[in-house]
């Protein structure tokens, strides 16, 4: 594994504008065998995904999680929490200076592995004292242009 140098530059995260205000969920659609077209107007589930207490949105700035289906420009919905399970995709604060979106794996010896879901990037293995979990990804939004 290559030595990883963490940048000392930190850009504050800018809040995104409210998403999907007033958007109705009209029903379900299949990407496989067609379903009967029945309108089923609902509002609650989509808005609660985005607006439940402790949730926030971050725009992804690169493709380091592409194999997880998260690409540059996507907006991830994050549940603010300080614990995560092996395999969860988390927002991790490293050395109280840098924030990253990675899959987490707990290692022996009080170490944490932060995995990029991209073949182009190396994983980070850090002492658990250097990593603070700020939240877990619970959803994502992609806008097609």
Identify whether 80 is a catalytic site residue: no
- 53-57 contacts, C-beta under 8 A, 24 or more apart: 54/79, 54/80, 54/81, 55/79, 55/80, 55/138, 56/15, 56/80, 56/135, 57/15, 57/16, 57/19, 57/141
Identify whether 108 is a catalytic site residue: no
Options 7, 14, 48, 102, the catalytic residue: 102
Tell the residue number behind the tokens 């979990």, with chain if given.
133
Options 9, 64, 118, 136, the catalytic residue: 64
Residues with a known catalytic role: 64, 102
């Amino acid at each position: 594994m290559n030595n990883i140098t963490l940048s000392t530059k930190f850009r504050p995260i800018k809040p995104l504008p409210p998403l999907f205000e007033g958007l109705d969920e009209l029903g379900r659609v299949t990407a496989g065998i067609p379903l009967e077209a029945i309108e089923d107007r609902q509002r609650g589930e989509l808005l609660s995904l985005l607006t439940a207490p402790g949730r926030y949105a971050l725009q992804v700035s690169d493709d380091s999680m592409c194999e997880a289906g998260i690409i540059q420009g996507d907006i991830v919905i994050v549940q603010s929490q300080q614990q995560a399970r092996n395999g969860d995709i988390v927002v991790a604060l490293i050395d109280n200076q840098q924030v990253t979106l990675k899959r987490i794996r707990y290692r022996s010896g009080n170490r944490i592995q932060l995995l990029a879901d991209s073949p182009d990037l190396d994983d980070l293995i850090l002492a658990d004292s250097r990593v603070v979990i700020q939240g877990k990804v619970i959803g994502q939004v992609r806008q097609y242009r």
